[in-house]
Amino acid sequence: MFQLSFLNAGLLIFAAATLLPLIIWLLAKKKPPQIVFSSIRFLKISSEEKKKRTRLTNILLLIIRMLIILLIALAVSRPMLRSSIFGNSDKHPPSAIAIVIDTSYSMDYTEDRKSRMDLALNAIKTINQKANPSDRLILISRDQNFNNLYAQIYAGQIPEELLTSLNFSWQALSWEETFALAHARLRDAQMPNNEIYLLSDFVNEEIRVDSEYPILAIPIFEKDHRQNISISEAQPLPQIVDRNQQQTIEYRITNHGNEDRAEVLVQAVLGDIKVAESFVSIPARQSVKKSISFNIRRDGWQSGYIEVLDGYLGADNRSYFAFEYHQYPQVAVITTSVLPKHLDSILRLYSGGKEPVIIPPAAANMQSLADYRLVIFYEPGELSPRLRDLIRRLDSEEIGSLFCLGKNLTEDYKSFLNNRFEQNISGYKAEPVSIDYISKQHHASSLIADKELRLNRIDAYWESPTKGNTLIAAASNAMVVQKEMTGLWLWDISSHSDFFSDPAYAVFAYRMLNTLQSGKVPIHELSVGDPIYTSDLLLPSNERLSLAKPIYITQEPGIYTLRPDDTDPTKIAVNIDYYDSEIERSKIPNDIKILSEDYANKIFVSRLGRDLWKLLLCLALLLMILEIIIVKYEQYKSSPRRTS
């Protein structure tokens, strides 16, 4: 029924000072020597009676002094008595309120023209109206950056301008971290009454909380199943043949609702211009891949997004893309041999039908390669110091390179490739193997990873065990590896392997060449929270950053621009992880009380605490007065009486 707690429990250690008067009294107490005179028996009896009264007075004073110290120590520790028998009142005593708002992007879900976030902000305004100047309010979101700046203790009201600073958390804090911060701020407030108001749509996450304070959930969540469509995985398809300025973007559209959706408008935006649109019908609970095409007006970096005009959850209605487009990209080949037909044909396709430029190793230099974004090395012969220096300068100038192996491989060239790609190339093997691994994550191989290859045999290759940078493998041997903007084909490109006749080879080779020529572009699709390596960056919000350390952790979805002062700056697309697109209702713990729709009349009503520090200080003051009275009375009694 009753519960006693302390706001400053750490100060209870000073209660140990209660023993000081007792220790001093015991140490100072000395027994005087006894000298007995036979003629003073009556005086002795009188003296012992006086000593007994004095001893009782001293013990009483000792107890009073100990109680004074104890009461003061308890008062500064702020004891608070809680009991349900105190009941509620219309005039609430000073309270500390922590408002915990869920800022995961599922709160963007909109019904009747109001999102869950709109309802949460209205609830905060209602709490502000109910608060009085003696209350202390704290606003805590699931965005770490917001909390670092604004999760402070405010007197009377949450400032209105804070509400405009609330944004969706694309990487939301865990509920454990969020509530831990709420508890810490409430303890700092040192108020007798403490409550936590929770504003959440309760989806996709299990809320676990062991709270010393009452938690009340304000109902802003909808009861019916959500009807939502998302767009994801937008990526450009390669133009293998019939090269023109029309680009096709493939994307995935998913109906997360339980109702069929017909004639949903999907549009493509390139830069800031809508360039195409189409209508898509999609059954309930289905996910399909679609494509949309548009014309490209110039060579260079292209960026934009595919968007579905769905009015429910806008946060996942876009999927961003970025790619480098050159209708006739120029490729140089450094070799001492005639190009194999499988390499020659793919280079012609990639360059729009143009014949690849052959450069002998002795004639290769940075001046001759200045106009190329991609250099192929095929059997260059001995790896001279001059050629090594050329490769190093290609790396520094961010010019992509691909090393294609034939039957011939010198020992110094093999050692160089092992160091460059962190491989362990051993001997040449002319035994057929079948491709059994294709990376689904890498940009170059993702399009063919889920395809069933009709022709997958490799007839000859250089043995090298698979490692983390492997894109394609066969029989536990790496066939293709890529490290940053340089690649290595370990299959013998001069052999007559069946895989080179499969359409998947042309798609993969085109995508890999395109990836290698695009500088330091991530080879995987980036999500919020992934790093971008650059020292000069333009954010999707158009804020420009110059970084002392060349790494930036992405905070929001959109198009990021690297080195914005370049003539044709690199674009990088960053998307969300789509975690909250597929909705699953969370189980609300029993210790979280859900308020009714009429919550405005239910807040600030948990009056279960009474602060006792003032009462304790008053008792200590009364004991001090009592001590003074006793001491003065004893002095008065022991003073000699004057006779006239």
Indicate whether 249 belongs to any domain.
no
Indicate whether 40 belongs to any domain.
yes
Q: pLDDT per residue over 517-557, tens digit each?
A: 865 566 667 899 999 988 999 999 999 999 999 999 999 99
Residue 335 burial by Cβ neighbours in a 10 Å radius (0-12, 13-18, 19+): buried
Give the tokens for residue 314. Answer: 């806008």
Q: Are residues 504 and 358 in the same domain?
A: yes
User: Do 481 and 423 touch, CB atoms closer than 8 A?
Assistant: yes
User: Do 365 and 450 touch, CB atoms closer than 8 A?
Assistant: no
Q: Are residues 113 and 191 in the same domain?
A: yes
Whole-number pLDDT of residue 255: 94
Whole-number pLDDT of residue 435: 95
Q: pLDDT per residue over 26-80, tens digit each?
A: 776 655 555 555 555 555 555 566 666 677 887 888 888 888 888 888 877 767 6
Q: How far apart are CA 141 and CA 99, in angstroms?
A: 8
What element of type H or E holds 294? strand 287-295
Indicate whether 275 belongs to any domain.
no
User: Do 273 and 222 touch, CB atoms closer than 8 A?
Assistant: no
Q: Are residues 49 and 168 in the same domain?
A: no
Give the tokens for residue 72. Answer: 């003061």
- Global confidence as pTM: 0.70
Q: How far apart are CA 399 and CA 558, in angstroms?
A: 26
Q: Are residues 594 and 620 in the same domain?
A: no
Strand partners, 136: 96, 155
Indicate whether 559 belongs to any domain.
yes
Indicate whether 269 belongs to any domain.
no
User: Do 402 and 491 touch, CB atoms closer than 8 A?
Assistant: no
Nearest to 588 by CA among 109, 223, 85, 118: 223
State the CATH number of the domain containing residue 211: 3.40.50.410
Q: Are residues 512 and 552 in the same domain?
A: no
Q: Are residues 122 and 184 in the same domain?
A: yes
Q: Report how far Cα 179 is from the mean position of its chain's Cα atoms.
A: 16
Q: What secondary structure does DSSP assign to 88-153, as a single string?
A: --SSPPPEEEEEEE--SGGGGBEETTEEHHHHHHHHHHHHHHH--TT-EEEEE-S-HHHHHHH--E
Give the tokens for residue 592. Answer: 């979280």
What element of type H or E holds 42? helix 41-76
State how many domains the chain has: 4
Strand partners, 377: 334, 403
Q: Are residues 16 and 50 in the same domain?
A: yes
User: Do 236 and 296 touch, CB atoms closer than 8 A?
Assistant: no
Q: Are residues 148 and 117 in the same domain?
A: yes
Q: Are residues 505 and 536 in the same domain?
A: no
Q: Are residues 398 and 377 in the same domain?
A: yes
Indicate whether 53 belongs to any domain.
yes
417 backbone dihedrals φ, ψ, rounded to 5°: -65, -40
Indicate whether 47 belongs to any domain.
yes
Q: How far apart are CA 480 and CA 466, in angstroms?
A: 9
Place of tokens 């014949």: 355
Strand partners, 320: 305
Q: Are residues 537 and 550 in the same domain?
A: yes
Residues of the chain with pLDDT under 70: 1-11, 28-53, 78, 80-92, 239-244, 518-524, 605-611, 640-644
User: Do 500 and 472 touch, CB atoms closer than 8 A?
Assistant: no
Q: What secondary structure does DSSP assign to 197-226, as a single string?
A: EEE---BSS------SS-EEE-----SSPP
Whole-number pLDDT of residue 541: 92
Q: Are residues 18 and 51 in the same domain?
A: yes
SS (H, E, C) 525-545: CEECCCEECCCEEECCCCCEE
Range of the structural domain that residue 175 is part of: 95-225+584-607
Indicate whether 291 belongs to any domain.
no
Q: Is 592 left (phi over 0), alpha (psi -120 to 50) or beta?
A: beta
User: Do 587 and 206 touch, CB atoms closer than 8 A?
Assistant: yes
Percent helix, strand, coil in the chain (nearest 5)? 30, 30, 40
